[in-house]
Homo-oligomer: A and B are copies of this chain.
Amino acid sequence: MEIALLGGTGDIGQGLALRWALDTDHSVVIGSRDADKAERKANEYHSSLKEIGVTLDIAGYSNETAADSAEVVVVSVPPEYAPQTVETVAPVLGEDDILVSPAVQMSRDASGFHYDPPEAGSVAEVVDRAAPDDVPVVSAFQNLAAGALSDLETDLEADVVVTGDDSEAKETVMALAEDIDGLRPLDGGPLANTGVVESVTPLLINLAMNNDGMHDLGVRFE
């Protein structure tokens, strides 16, 4: 399967790109608003993998070109850029493609981080509104620590809650989560349930800030 990481030059995009490249046979392409930046980053990821003895081609393109060739398109951009990013790639998406939303909108004040959901209820629902009607949207990967994901020497052990209204698309994304060593996909129900998943992310940051020895936290449900 070909996976495009739009905004794949950022933290979570980098981590997912490296893990899918390392742990699976899926083909990974990096997208960015700036195709040159995407190419530079793709080369960096290639080098990171080479350092641990893995030779893999990772390509970098403009977001449109990256999305065009992929079946699964991860909108790993800052939440405020999610709608315009989806609109940019909409012309190259079809009903066999899946948009994945891993972003979270947060605010910060003196107390810590807070969940700051958009009016639609969640970033995933913003992505869904911006997406063509026939393209299913699935939310996943919000609660992973980018640092742990990108550090290929860190063993992961974390749950990935997946939400979506299209059960086939949701199953595909759950399988892609399971393909990464140490991640366990869980079904969070329909896309309308995404808010309570996204809001775990500011909690993870608050816990890391307030408890000695806790950092790069993930979450497990048991």
Contacts and interface: CB of A to CB of B under 8 A. Distances in A.
Contact of A206 (B196, B204, B217, B220): B196
Contact of A109 (B192, B202, B207, B209): B192
The quantity of this chain's copies bound in the complex is 2
A113 B199 CA distance: 14
Interface string A186-206: 111110110111011011101
Nearest to A208: B221
A176 interface: no
A117 to B, nearest CB: 10
Nearest to A210: B187
A207 B195 contact: no
A107 to B, nearest CB: 11
A219 interface: yes
Given A217-B221, A220-B220, A200 B196 contact: yes
Interface in A71-119: 109, 111-115
Given A214-B221, A220-B219, A221-B219, A161 B207 contact: yes
A197 B203 contact: yes
Which of A109, A204, A220 has the largest number of chain B CB atoms within 10 A?
Answer: A220
Interface of A: 109, 111-115, 157, 161, 186-190, 192-193, 195-197, 199-200, 202-204, 206-207, 209-211, 214, 217-222
Given A112-B192, A113-B193, 18 more contacts: A111-B192, A112-B190, A114-B193, A114-B195, A114-B196, A161-B203, A189-B209, A193-B203, A196-B199, A196-B206, A197-B203, A199-B199, A199-B200, A200-B200, A214-B221, A217-B221, A218-B221, A219-B219
